[in-house]
Structure formats: structure tokens, C-alpha cells
């Protein structure tokens, strides 16, 4: 087999995998889900899902990757189950779709760096106008995709690992800086209360299921991103501890993102927390208005810093999203890595164009589809996100867990996990992982897949 390259150290792998996990999902998605989902109660359920359900799935994905040293499609063949290749293909499709719209949002965030730096906070009030300037924001998107492709073209250790080791610590320091700053503002404590004191009466079916979806997306599970990264991990590494680290880092950064944003909303709302439920506009509209209200050079510094941070987080994720189809093309079609990278990136950018146009520029893509039972049309970007994040990821996760436990078998999974982990066999962690992968993950993810499809696309709400 050709030399595929690999991570050079344990910390390098953890940084890269945590970089994949930490992204728009943590800093843009998590706070708005918390805001709309009633605050602390959502946080609590999210945490439970991450550790109880997602962590075992993550260890499983990494183990499949390391065992086979291949992309998600090739991995199933290498284990001897060619019939399961479709699960890998579904993962590649999910990766392509996610990156296609994710890059559009990353492009908006990238453009915001310049708006904030120029003190143009008014962009927040006219966010719809901003996203409909497709040549401008599309240009930012193009630069973002090219940067992603450049990093991926440098390979695993020289590109992906290197950038993650540089950006992850920077990102953490920047978030901590912004948290500290936010806490000095008046009424910040009302934000903390909203965020951390749970009101369990606010929990309903959709809170639970949004928390689950958020956890799964945020940990980059269900599409083989971690099978792919796992395929570059050395046999010396302890997969279980690495997966635990990645989960802890991802959750901590989401948590810090909340600590950064809610005090700012507390400040802006004079303590009423009005605006916390702003939905997807929370960052681009509400938060940018807050930076404007802070004003002066602090407004510029904090606003610019925030969007730089958001772009760093997004970049280590787009890199992992691109690596999945690239690994597939390189391993299975034997195309040279550099060529594969630029080709795949170009295709995905093109696939993302309707998502770019569907935010005000083109009426057709803006009102793309009206789901059964819905009274408002959904735009193209949200539609693709619903198909990929809410449908393909839980389905993929369910299938990967089912495959590992019942087709490949837990004994084989345990063998792989035990390499580099001398105390794994016979431990409580082993027993728990086996249980989670055999029963919990396939059932919970399968149910979640069915409920989401019914609720999102057909308007049938069972819970
Ligand atoms: N986890 C990333 C985020 O939170 C998104 C992602 C999903 C990346 C799936 C890779 C695979 O932004």
C-alpha cells in the first residue's frame, strides 16, 4: 500500500480530532440551541449524551479506522464486509453535503472579521443584505475553501496536524480572554444564571432530540470523519483515552462558548436575557449588535477577536470534512493526493453554490422547499443541513455501531481498542463500551433517525 502518512504524536492526533469536533457547531450552534432550548436544562442533557452515547461511538469509529488504515468505504471491505460499503458511501455523501453549506457559513464569519475590524457593526441589522451579496460573501467562501484545501494538500502531519497544534491552543486562550472580558460587564451574572441554573420544566421532546443531534454533530460522528482520522493513528496509541480527551475538549469548548456569550446577552438585555432565543442569528445578528453596543476600540477588538476565533474553529473542522472524501478518492481511485484535494474541494464548492444563493439572493433557493405540514418554506442551506446533520449522521452512527457490535463483533472491536491500552480488557470501561455499542447506540440513534425524519420532513411529532 502507498504511504498514506500519519499523525506523529498522540497530542497531534488529539489536537486534530478535537479540531474536527470543535467548530461552528460549538461556537455558533451550541449557544443558540441553549438559548432556544431553555438554557441550563439543555446543557445538562447535552452533556449526558456526549459522555454516555457519543464517546463510545467515537472510540468505535477510531478503532475501525486504525484497524483498517483506510477511508470509511475501504474500511468495510478490508474488514471483509463488502456489503456494508454503502454505510461508508453515505458517510462520504454526508461529508460532502456538510462541507458544502458549512463553508458558506464559514465564509460569512470570515467576512465578519473585516466588518468588525472596520467598526461596521451596522452589518448586524442588515444581515439579510449581507448574505445576499453573493459575490462578496461567496468570495470569502472561496478563500476559506482554498485555505482548507491548501492545509489538506500538505498531508496529515505537515498540514492537518500542524494547523491543529497551532490553532487549538490559540482558540482556547482567545475564548478564555473573551469569557473574562464578558464577566466584567454589568448584568453578566444574569447571563450566567440563565446558562447554568437549570429549569427542568422547560424540557420537552424537542429539547431532548435537539440536544442529541447537537452532541452528535459537534463530536463529528456518524460520517466516518473519525474513521478517517483513526486510519492515520499509530498502533501505539490508546484509543479510549484519546476519545475521552477529544470528548472532554469538545464539550469544554462548547461550555466556554456559552460562558462567553450569555454574559454578553445579559449585559445587552439589561439582565432580562431577551434575545437569547435568537436562533441561528444569535452570533451574526445579536452578538454583533452587542459588539456595537460595547463600542469604541473594545468593541472592535472583542468583535474582531470573536470572529477570528470562530474562523479558526471552523477551519480545523472544514479540514476534517474535506479529508474524508479526499481519503476515499486517494485510496479507492488511486488519484494523487494533491490533485484529489483540489478536485474534491472544487466540486464541493460548486455543490455549495445553491446554499450560498439561498440566503436572499435567489428567491428560488431561498424558498426552496415547503415540508409537509409546514407553513413556511425552507431555504436550500437549511434543507441540506437537515438532510445531512439530522438525518444522515444519526443513520450513519446507528449503522456504524450496529456493524461494529453485531457484524464485525465486539470481540474484534475490543482487540483493537486493547492495542496501546494494557488495562482495557476486563475494565469497567470495556464493559460499558460494549453495552453502549451493542444496544444503546443502535437503538437510540435509530429511533432518533426515524423521529427526525417524521418530524422535520413530514410534520409528524411523536414526542
Ligand atoms: N464537529 C464540527 C462542528 O461542530 C462539524 C463536523 C461534523 C465536522 C461532522 C466533521 C464531521 O462544527
Positions in the chain whose pLDDT score sits under 70: 1-2
Among 10, 103, 95, 36, smallest CA distance to 280 is for: 36
Residue 144 located in a structural domain: yes
Per-residue pLDDT at 459: 87
Q: Bridge-partner residues for 369, per DSSP?
A: 378
Sequence-ordered list of residues with C-beta below 8 angstroms from that of 199, at least 6 positions apart, any chain: 38, 39, 40, 41
Strand, coil or helix: 378: strand
Residue with cell string 469569557: 179
Residue with cell string 486510519: 231
User: What are 424's three cell numbers?
Assistant: 482495557
Mark out the alpha helices in 69-204 (DSSP H runs): 72-78, 85-117, 127-132, 134-153, 162-183, 188-196
CB 107 within 8 A of CB 144: yes
Q: How far is the CA of 270 from the centre of ligand 1 (A)?
A: 34
User: What are 181's three cell numbers?
Assistant: 472580558
Residue 307 located in a structural domain: yes
Strand, coil or helix: 369: strand
CATH code, domain with 101 = 1.10.4160.10
Count of domains observed in the chain: 1
Q: How far is the CA of 211 from the centre of ligand 1 (A)?
A: 15
pLDDT tens digits, one per residue of 326-370: 999 999 999 999 999 999 999 999 999 999 999 999 999 999 999
Q: Is 223 in the pocket of ligand 1 (CB under 6 A)?
A: yes
CB 350 within 8 A of CB 364: no
Domain limits for position 286: 2-341
Q: How far is the CA of 219 from the centre of ligand 1 (A)?
A: 6
Residue 178 located in a structural domain: yes
Residue 273 located in a structural domain: yes
Residue 410 located in a structural domain: no
Among 19, 120, 27, smallest CA distance to 310 is for: 27
Q: Is 24 in the pocket of ligand 1 (CB under 6 A)?
A: yes
Q: Is 215 in the pocket of ligand 1 (CB under 6 A)?
A: no
Per-residue pLDDT at 360: 93
Q: Is 148 in the pocket of ligand 1 (CB under 6 A)?
A: no
Residue 158 located in a structural domain: yes
Q: Is 225 in the pocket of ligand 1 (CB under 6 A)?
A: yes
Q: How far is the CA of 4 from the centre of ligand 1 (A)?
A: 23
* Average pLDDT of every residue of the chain: 94
Angle at 276 between CA 272 and CA 277, to 5 degrees: 120
Per-residue pLDDT at 2: 53
Long-range pairs of 114-122 with CB within 8 A, sequence gap ≥ 24: 115/288, 116/288, 116/291, 116/300, 116/303, 116/304, 116/306, 116/307, 117/300, 117/303, 117/304, 119/299, 119/300, 121/288, 121/289, 121/291, 121/292, 121/299, 121/303, 122/292
Per-residue pLDDT at 134: 97
Residue 373 located in a structural domain: no
Residue 444 located in a structural domain: no
Amino acid at each position: 500500500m502507498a504511504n498514506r502518512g500519519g499523525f506523529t504524536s498522540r497530542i497531534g492526533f488529539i489536537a486534530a480530532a478535537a479540531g474536527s469536533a470543535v467548530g461552528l457547531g460549538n461556537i455558533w450552534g451550541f449557544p443558540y440551541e441553549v438559548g432556544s432550548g431553555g438554557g441550563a436544562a439543555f446543557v445538562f442533557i447535552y452533556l449526558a449524551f456526549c459522555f454516555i452515547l457519543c464517546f463510545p461511538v467515537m472510540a468505535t469509529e477510531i478503532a475501525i479506522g486504525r484497524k483498517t488504515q483506510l477511508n470509511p468505504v475501504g474500511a468495510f471491505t478490508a474488514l471483509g464486509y463488502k456489503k456494508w460499503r454503502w454505510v461508508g458511501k453515505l458517510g462520504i455523501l454526508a461529508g460532502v453535503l456538510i462541507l458544502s453549506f458549512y463553508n458558506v457559513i464559514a465564509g460569512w464569519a470570515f467576512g465578519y472579521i473585516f466588518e468588525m475590524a472596520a467598526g461596521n457593526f451596522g452589518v448586524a441589522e442588515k444581515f439579510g443584505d449581507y448574505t445576499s451579496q453573493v459575490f462578496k460573501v461567496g468570495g470569502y467562501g472561496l478563500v476559506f475553501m482554498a485555505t482548507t484545501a491548501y492545509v489538506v494538500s500538505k498531508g496529515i502531519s505537515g498540514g492537518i496536524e500542524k494547523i491543529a497544534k497551532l490553532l487549538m491552543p490559540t482558540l482556547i486562550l482567545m475564548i478564555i480572554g473573551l469569557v473574562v472580558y464578558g464577566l466584567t460587564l454589568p448584568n453578566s451574572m444574569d447571563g450566567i444564571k440563565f446558562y447554568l441554573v437549570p429549569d427542568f420544566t422547560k424540557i420537552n421532546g424537542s429539547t431532548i432530540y435537539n440536544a442529541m443531534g447537537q452532541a452528535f454533530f459537534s463530536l463529528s460522528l456518524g460520517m466516518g470523519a473519525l474513521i478517517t482520522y483513526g486510519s492515520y493513528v499509530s498502533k501505539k496509541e490508546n484509543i479510549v483515552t484519546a476519545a475521552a480527551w477529544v470528548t472532554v475538549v469538545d464539550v469544554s469548548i462548547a461550555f466556554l462558548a456559552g460562558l462567553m456569550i450569555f454574559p454578553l446577552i445579559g449585559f445587552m438585555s439589561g439582565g432580562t436575557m431577551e434575545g437569547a432565543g435568537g436562533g441561528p442569528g444569535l452570533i451574526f445578528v445579536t452578538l454583533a449588535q452587542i459588539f456595537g453596543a460595547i463600542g469604541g476600540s473594545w468593541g472592535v477588538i472583542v468583535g474582531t477577536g470573536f470572529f477570528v476565533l470562530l474562523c479558526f474553529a471552523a477551519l480545523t473542522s472544514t479540514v476534517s470534512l474535506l479529508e474524508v472524501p479526499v481519503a476515499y478518492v486517494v485510496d479507492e481511485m488511486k488519484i494523487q493526493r494533491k490533485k484529489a484535494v483540489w478536485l474534491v474541494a472544487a466540486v464541493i464548492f460548486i455543490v455549495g453554490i445553491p446554499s450560498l444563493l439561498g440566503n436572499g439572493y435567489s428567491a428560488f433557493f431561498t424558498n426552496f422547499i415547503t415540508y409537509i405540514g409546514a407553513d413556511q418554506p425552507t431555504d436550500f442551506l437549511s434543507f441540506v443541513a437537515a438532510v445531512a446533520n439530522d438525518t444522515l449522521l444519526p443513520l450513519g452512527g446507528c449503522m456504524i455501531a450496529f456493524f461494529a457490535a453485531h457484524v464485525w463483533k465486539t470481540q474484534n472491536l475490543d482487540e483493537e481498542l486493547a492495542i496501546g491500552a494494557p488495562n482495557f480488557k476486563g475494565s469497567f470501561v470495556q464493559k460499558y463500551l460494549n453495552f453502549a455499542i451493542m444496544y444503546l447506540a443502535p437503538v437510540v440513534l435509530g429511533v432518533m433517525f426515524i423521529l427526525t425524519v417524521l418530524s422535520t420532513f413530514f410534520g409528524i411529532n411523536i414526542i
